[in-house]
Amino acid sequence: MFFEIKNETVHFHDGKTLSFGGIADSIGAKPDDVVYLGGSLVEGFVGPYARGMGNAFSDLDVFIIRNHNDFIDTEAEYSASAKKTYFRRLNEINMDIEVFDYDYVKELANILTNIKYEKGTRIFNVLGKSLGDGSNFTFANSFLNRLLYSVCVHNERLYREIKESIPYDKFFTLKEHAVLNAIDLKAEDVKGNLAAKEADAALYTFRDMARTVFEAVLAKEKVLVDRDKWVILKFVNFVKQTGKYNDLYEMHLNIFREGLPDDAVCLEKVGLALGFILKKLEDIMFGELEI
């Protein structure tokens, strides 16, 4: 295993380690901050259907929920109304630190608790303008995903209180409706390309639609995902662990892995194709330049 967490210490594939206390100190954690580890590396370790997420090249994602006044005063490379981002390097490990305004977290929990979905409601506007940039559905989905599949580093009591205050069931319902609406639109696109006999466009748009169908299945099964690249990985892990949706899995093999059923062969061909396409890109972009 290239990554694991045990005894309040993060262990990496090359023998490097980071202690929880060392992480908290290096990022300037305040006494009232909630600090937790999340993102692909951590979710691949703790997530029930996330085996394979993250890799040896992934940075460690660290998250802070900080009181509003301290959040306002936080210096960062990137700032928005509900989140700030900065970077640190500790023991040769790159860390991406995202700081969230605790007021945003409380307001999000309150809106989800009291929300009443009605047919025809525009899901991506349902969180309301009071959340600032956090009213974006994708923003909220990412925050909730990374909080749900995380490991606390600092202030365990408040960390648990925050997680328990968020009605994830309500959000899963919203997400189901959101992805189902997207599927309807994408299905029309596929039908249009089929009618026009545009084979390449039809295949591409169907693959995109299929990924969204897998995301809808995950939402129905109370599994969050916040990056397109992890949808199929989580869906395949879910099918293999539960035995459900085997017909959709067979369709996935047919439309995504035709001719590449063996993982080793698939990885080899992807690696060869990657090398080819990067060289081709270099030729295209820089071939005519004289240095």
Q: Is it the case that residue 251 has pLDDT exceeding 80?
A: yes
- Same domain for 187 and 140: no
Give the percent of the chain with pLDDT over 70: 92
pLDDT per position as a tens digit, 86-139? 999 999 999 999 999 999 999 999 989 988 766 666 666 667 666 776 668 889
DSSP element (H, E) containing 210: helix 199-220
Average pLDDT for 263-274: 88
Residue 33 lies in a domain: yes
Kindly state whether residues 213 and 83 are assigned to the same domain: no
User: pLDDT at residue 227 above 70?
Assistant: yes
- Give the Cα separation of 193 and 34 in Å (integer): 49
State the Cα–Cα distance between residues 232 and 156, nearest whole angstrom.
32
Residues 40 and 126 in one domain: yes
Claim to verify: residue 42 and residue 126 sit in the same structural domain: yes
Q: Is 258 helix (H, G, I), strand (E, B) or coil?
A: coil
Bridge partners of 96? 61, 87
Q: Are residues 37 and 131 in the same domain?
A: yes
How much is the mean pLDDT over the chain?
90
Residue 1 pLDDT greater than 60, yes or no: no
Residue that finishes a domain, picked among 117, 132, 166: 166
- Whether 261 has a pLDDT exceeding 70, the answer reads yes
126-151 as b/e: b if 16+ CB within 10 A? bbeeebbebbbbebbbbbbbbbbbbb
Domain boundary among 124, 140, 166: 166
Distance CA 92, CA 110 (A): 40
pLDDT at 52 over 50: yes
pLDDT at residue 291 in the model: 45
Predicted pLDDT at 141: 93
Predicted pLDDT of residue 17: 93
Distance CA 23, CA 245 (A): 41
Neighbours of 46 (CB within 10 A): 14
142 with 19, same domain? Answer: yes
The answer to whether 64 and 98 have CB atoms below 8 angstroms apart is yes
**Statement to judge: residues 13 and 75 lie in one domain:** yes
**Cβ neighbours of residue 241 under 8 Å, at least 6 residues apart?**
48, 49
pLDDT at 279 over 70: yes
Q: Identify residue 72 by its one-letter amino acid code.
A: I
Q: Are residues 195 and 110 in the same domain?
A: no
Q: Which domain holds residue 209?
A: 170-256
Q: Are residues 104 and 247 in the same domain?
A: no
Indicate which CATH number applies to the domain containing 129.
Answer: 3.30.460.10
| Distance from C-alpha of 24 to C-alpha of 40, rounded to nearest angstrom | 20
Does some domain include residue 272? Answer: no
The two structure tokens encoding residue 84: 């700030």
- Interacting residues of 226 by C-beta distance below 8 A, sequence separation 6+: 138, 141, 142, 145, 146
As for how many domains the chain has, the answer is: 2
For residues 209 and 289, what is the distance between their CA atoms, to the nearest angstrom? 40
Instruction: Provide the pLDDT for residue 156.
Output: 97
Q: Is the pLDDT of residue 231 over 50?
A: yes
Yes or no: say if 62 and 95 are a contact pair by the CB < 8 Å rule: yes
Burial 273-283 (b: 16+ CB within 10 A, else e): eeeeeeeeeee
pLDDT band at 164, cuts 50/70/90?
Answer: very high
Confidence of residue 53 (pLDDT cuts 50, 70, 90): very high
Q: Are residues 150 and 176 in the same domain?
A: no
116 and 197 in a single domain? The answer is no
Mean pLDDT of the region 193-216 = 93
The contacts of residue 85 (CB under 8 Å, 6+ apart) are 76, 77, 78, 79, 96, 97, 98, 99
